[in-house]
Amino acid sequence: MSLEDQFAKITEAAARRQGPSHPPGRAQVVATVVGIGLLLAAVVGGIVAISSFSRTGPNEVAVIYNGGPLDKKTQRQVIPPASGLTWTGWLSQDARYYPSDASPRRYIITSDAGRGERVGVDVVRVPTSDGIDVGLEAKISFTTAFTGADDDKLVRDFDARFGNRTYPQPGGGPRLNPWQGDEGFGAFLDIEFRPVLDNALRESIATFTCEQLVSSCALVGGGRDVTVKQDAGELTNANLVRVQDAIAKALREDLARNLGGEFFRGVQVIVSGVRLPKTVQDAVDEAQAQFAEVNKSKADLQKAQIRKQVNDALGASYKSCPACAQIDALRAIPPNVTAISLGGSGTIALSPNR
């Protein structure tokens, strides 16, 4: 018997055992539908369960909002930095991440407009008490006050005040919430932080004159003594330290008052330089050049005066000792001269040993 015949025989025997075929009954259809429904429910439930966990990185905290169809859309909990997987409830909204108190933030202010185009860099020029519009080179350092602990009221208040708002990005692009990464937090700083910083700078710089911040301003003081004191550099350095402290103090107080809470801590200001306007700097450079020329003339005059004093003293010495004058005159003759002409009286031969 061939292989095809054996296969046909086996197929016929299997058909006799199964009997005649009938369409599936209603109970069988219902069971199938129920099975598919249960499978879909298990898949959806698994997805919801997985999405109901969140975790944070080392330097960030998270705020969780309720999101269920029957829940109030209120804050549910906060999560501290470097957490493991944390249960955040069924159907809760995605976590909102903010920098923690262990994440230092920096804001650069500069007088260079070319650098000011970068995010986190601001061009600032403010007037001194005598009306000179100076530019600053400085770095502002701070952290948030957000710990992510259960009793962290500050991060909850900050999120309630600012987390539901969007801010334009300094470099263009879509508006962002402050919890949408560094770009979002930078957009918040640009709108809420920068005006407070500008005000603190104006308040602080306005208490100093230009000369107190840049000693060379004394050269263009107009009607005053235009000399620069020897200790002027030390005094301006001390004043810059006072400026730093004044800006930091004003910034802390103004931020808390304007934002409605002490959301930022550890505010430090380092002023690396004060830049004069170009017209003022040009005047200072010209004055310095003139003073350099005057000082050179004074030095030449002093040399001439000293030379005259030496000559007067030498003349008096020769007057009292004519032989000394002759000796010095002979010594002054160059070594390659072998004779001296006396005109009509002849010449005097000089010996090699003089």
For residue 310 the two structure tokens come to: 């030496």
What is the reported pLDDT for 177?
A: 97
Rounded mean pLDDT, 20-35: 64
- Per-domain residue ranges for the chain? 27-94, 99-276, 288-349
What is the reported pLDDT for 117?
A: 41
What is the reported pLDDT for 6?
A: 56
Q: Residues 56, 64: contact at Cβ < 8 Å?
A: no
Q: Residues 184, 178: contact at Cβ < 8 Å?
A: yes
CA distance 252 to 167: 22
Rounded mean pLDDT, 17-30: 61
> According to CATH, what is the number of the domain 99-276?
3.30.479.30
Q: Does residue 11 have a pLDDT over 60?
A: no
Confidence of residue 253 (pLDDT cuts 50, 70, 90): very high
349 forms bridges with which residues in the sheet?
Answer: 339
pLDDT in tens, 199-215: 999 999 999 998 899 88
- List b or e across 221-256, with b for residues whose CB sees 16 or more CB atoms inside 10 angstroms: eeeeeeebeeebeeebeebbeebbebbbebbbebbe
Q: Does residue 231 have a pLDDT over 70?
A: no
Rounded mean pLDDT, 282-288: 66
pLDDT in tens, 294-344: 555 666 667 777 777 777 777 777 677 777 766 666 676 777 666 666 555
Q: pLDDT higher for 3 or 159?
A: 159
pLDDT in tens, 121-158: 556 788 999 888 888 889 999 999 999 999 999 999 99
CA distance 156 to 171: 29
Per the listing, tokens 């550099």 go with: 233
Q: Which of 25-39, 238-252, 269-283 has the lowest mean pLDDT?
A: 25-39
What is the reported pLDDT for 285?
A: 62
Q: Does residue 225 have a pLDDT over 60?
A: no
User: In whole numbers, what is the pLDDT of the chain averaged over residues?
Assistant: 78
Confidence of residue 222 (pLDDT cuts 50, 70, 90): low
Amino acid at 119: V
Q: Does residue 115 have a pLDDT over 50?
A: no
Q: Residues 335, 353: contact at Cβ < 8 Å?
A: no
CA distance 123 to 127: 14
Rounded mean pLDDT, 216-240: 67
CA distance 217 to 271: 18
- List b or e across 288-310, with b for residues whose CB sees 16 or more CB atoms inside 10 angstroms: eeeeeeeeeeeeeeeeeeeeeee
CA dihedral 32, 34, 35, 38 (to 10 degrees): 160
